[in-house]
């Protein structure tokens, strides 16, 4: 008993703590909140408490001593004496003191033995009524079960009749299918006996014709094999001299401007380039060339990464001394510029034959992981410093957004420009015709669309933009150059 009382007391204390842990004041009579002394802002009276009680920790109930037990300090209270009244208590009439009334009024008053009979009958009546009350729900349940059985028998009977009808229909369908199968069997037998043998004879004839054609092809292959036994002679031979780059080829004696094979990194295969060995003492690797519009420069990222176009063509000297239109490839350009200090020379020509150039003493293209970021410095020349200063015809932010230094390379399928990144409707490469280090968007566009004649209009452009082969600081936005080329070589001050 003591243990039960102790447990009850602990539970009551815990419940009281939970009840009084939150304020239960009337919402209509809230006291004004106190001000924070540091900020002066009103502090919510409940703001310092956790909003979710589920995050609180519970350390268990503290120990409480049991209630006091033992002897009492008082004795039991005396019971009051019964009040004396003048009236005496009515005496209960016993059955043997005059009999009892029969259940049926016609029987009159019964003797004491009859009273016992009445009591027994009344008890029996109560028992019978109880039994009847218990039997009534069973009778109702039995009635419901009988109805369910009746309905179930009717449904089974209906289902049986439906199955008999379906069986009759199935017999009719089976008879129809049997007739169709017999017709198909007769057709197949006729086909196997007559049509197949005829088709087989036709296929045998076709097979014979194919065998004859194969024999002719085998004879033609043998004839070609006999003709190719002698080694083929190229009409554009590759010079024997080679090196890591055109500067090393020049130092090894390759003084003619033509196509060579360079091998900058022994871990990667060599590749063909055009070396300019005459301009400014030579040693230039031609990385970009536009001269007649024969090559489309509106290419994808992977094509700009690998390179595309025609390196060189044969001339009357029987070696490839005429450069073609091509892009060397961003991987190759990055590899060459990261070997050491590199300078770049950009030469351009208009449709009147006038020529200018822009030269940068420092030129580096990062790897593909940085999207081939371009960095240039040290400008000289007479074409205008588009890479570092942007378009001189513009002012303020309009000019700075045309600077190409520090930009990532962009193509129409890989948008890396500064014109609302992520918006496919605002891509410089898609509107300006080629891959380039676009900002927002350009002051120079050497890989743009090639327009014959020079001047063009927004109505001629595909998207109404200055998408030609443009160098704005020389000829403006709406003049497409006749020729432009980009060349790189190692930079050293004593050249």
* Residue 225 pLDDT: 77
Q: For residue 313, give the H/E element and its range.
A: strand 312-313
In the numeric block, which tokens belong to residue 338? 């990261």
- Pinpoint the alpha helices (H) of 191-278: 196-227, 246-251
Instruction: Decide if 67 is inside a domain.
Output: no
**Cβ atoms of residues 366 and 334 within 8 Å:** yes
The three-state secondary structure class of 77 is coil
Cα–Cα distance measured from residue 472 to residue 461, given in angstroms and rounded to the nearest whole number: 16
Report the predicted TM-score, pTM, of the whole model to 2 decimal places: 0.54
Instruction: Decide if 271 is inside a domain.
Output: yes
Assess whether the previous peptide bond of 160 is cis (omega < 30° from 0).
no
* Residue 73 pLDDT: 43
Instruction: Decide if 87 is inside a domain.
Output: no
Cα–Cα distance measured from residue 403 to residue 373, given in angstroms and rounded to the nearest whole number: 13
Q: In the chain, which stretches have pLDDT less than 50?
A: 13, 16-65, 68, 72-74, 86, 93-97, 232-234
What are the tens digits of pLDDT across the range 302-316? 999 999 999 988 776
* Residue 23 pLDDT: 38
* Residue 164 pLDDT: 86
* Residue 171 pLDDT: 85
Instruction: Decide if 169 is inside a domain.
Output: no
* Residue 26 pLDDT: 38
- Pinpoint the alpha helices (H) of 228-261: 246-251
* Residue 287 pLDDT: 97
Cβ-proximal residues to 479 (8 Å cutoff; 6+ apart), any chain = 350, 454, 455, 456, 468, 470
Q: For residue 380, give the H/E element and its range.
A: strand 374-381
Instruction: Decide if 376 is inside a domain.
Output: yes
Domain CATH for 368: 3.90.215.10
Pick from 438, 439, 447, 443: nearest CA to 484:
447
Cα–Cα distance measured from residue 71 to residue 51, given in angstroms and rounded to the nearest whole number: 50
- Pinpoint the alpha helices (H) of 298-347: 301-306, 330-337
466 phi/psi in degrees, rounded to 5:
-80, 80
Cβ-proximal residues to 437 (8 Å cutoff; 6+ apart), any chain = 372, 374, 404, 407, 408, 409, 410
Place of tokens 């008053």: 109
The three-state secondary structure class of 334 is helix
In the numeric block, which tokens belong to residue 230? 């002698």
Q: What is the tally of structural domains in the chain?
A: 1
* Residue 493 pLDDT: 77
* Residue 313 pLDDT: 82
Cα–Cα distance measured from residue 355 to residue 352, given in angstroms and rounded to the nearest whole number: 9
Q: Which domain holds residue 471?
A: 246-490
Radius of gyration for the alpha carbons in the chain, expressed in angstroms and rounded: 55
What are the tens digits of pLDDT across the range 36-73? 433 333 433 222 223 344 443 433 443 444 554 555 44
* Residue 331 pLDDT: 96
Instruction: Decide if 460 is inside a domain.
Output: yes
Instruction: Decide if 54 is inside a domain.
Output: no
Instruction: Decide if 440 is inside a domain.
Output: yes
* Residue 426 pLDDT: 86
Pick from 448, 446, 443: nearest CA to 431:
448
């Amino acid at each position: 008993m003591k243990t039960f009382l102790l447990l009850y007391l602990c539970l009551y204390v815990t419940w009281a703590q939970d009840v009084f842990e939150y304020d239960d004041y009337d919402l209509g009579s809230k006291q004004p909140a106190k001000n924070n002394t540091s900020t002066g802002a009103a502090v919510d009276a409940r703001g310092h408490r956790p909003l979710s009680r589920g995050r609180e920790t519970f350390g268990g109930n503290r120990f409480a001593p049991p209630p006091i037990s033992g002897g009492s300090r008082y004795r039991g209270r005396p019971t009051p004496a019964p009040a004396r009244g003048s009236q005496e208590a009515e005496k209960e009439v016993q059955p043997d003191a005059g009999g009892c009334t029969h259940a049926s009024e016609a029987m009159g008053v019964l003797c004491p033995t009859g009273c016992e009979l009445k009591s027994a009958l009344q008890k029996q009546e109560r028992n019978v009524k109880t039994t009847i009350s218990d039997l009534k729900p069973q009778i109702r349940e039995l009635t419901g079960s009988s109805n369910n059985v009746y309905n179930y028998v009717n449904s089974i009977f209906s289902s049986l009749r439906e199955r008999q009808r379906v069986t009759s229909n199935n017999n009719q369908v089976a008879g129809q299918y049997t007739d169709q199968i017999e017709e198909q069997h007769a057709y197949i037998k006729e086909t196997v006996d007559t049509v197949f043998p005829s088709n087989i004879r036709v296929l045998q004839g076709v097979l014979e014709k194919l065998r004859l054609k194969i024999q002719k092809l085998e004879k033609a292959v043998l004839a070609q094999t006999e003709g190719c036994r002698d080694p083929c002679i190229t009409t554009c031979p590759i010079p024997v001299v080679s090196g890591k780059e055109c500067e090393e080829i020049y130092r090894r004696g390759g003084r003619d401007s033509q196509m060579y094979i360079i091998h900058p990194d022994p871990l990667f295969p060599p590749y063909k380039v055009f070396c300019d060995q005459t301009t400014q003492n030579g040693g230039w690797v031609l990385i970009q060339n536009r001269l007649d519009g024969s090559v489309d420069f509106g290419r994808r990222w992977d094509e700009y990464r690998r390179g595309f176009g025609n390196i060189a063509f044969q001339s009357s000297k029987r070696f490839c001394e005429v450069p073609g239109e091509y892009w060397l490839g961003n991987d190759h350009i990055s590899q060459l510029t990261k070997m050491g200090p590199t300078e770049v020379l950009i030469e351009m020509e208009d449709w009147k034959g006038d020529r200018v150039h822009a030269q940068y003493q420092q030129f580096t293209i990062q790897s593909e992981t940085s999207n081939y970021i371009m960095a240039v410095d040290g400008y000289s020349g007479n074409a205008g410093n588009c890479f570092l200063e942007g378009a001189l015809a513009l002012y303020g932010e309009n000019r700075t957004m045309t600077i190409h230094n520090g930009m990532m390379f962009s193509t129409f399928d890989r948008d890396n420009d500064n014109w609302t990144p992520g918006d496919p409707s605002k891509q410089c490469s898609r509107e300006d015709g080629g891959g380039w280090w676009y900002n927002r968007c350009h002051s120079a566009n050497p890989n743009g669309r090639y327009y014959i004649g020079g001047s063009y209009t927004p109505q001629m452009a595909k998207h109404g933009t200055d998408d030609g082969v443009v160098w704005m600081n020389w000829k403006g936005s709406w003049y497409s150059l006749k020729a432009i080329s980009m060349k790189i070589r190692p930079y050293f001050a004593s050249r």
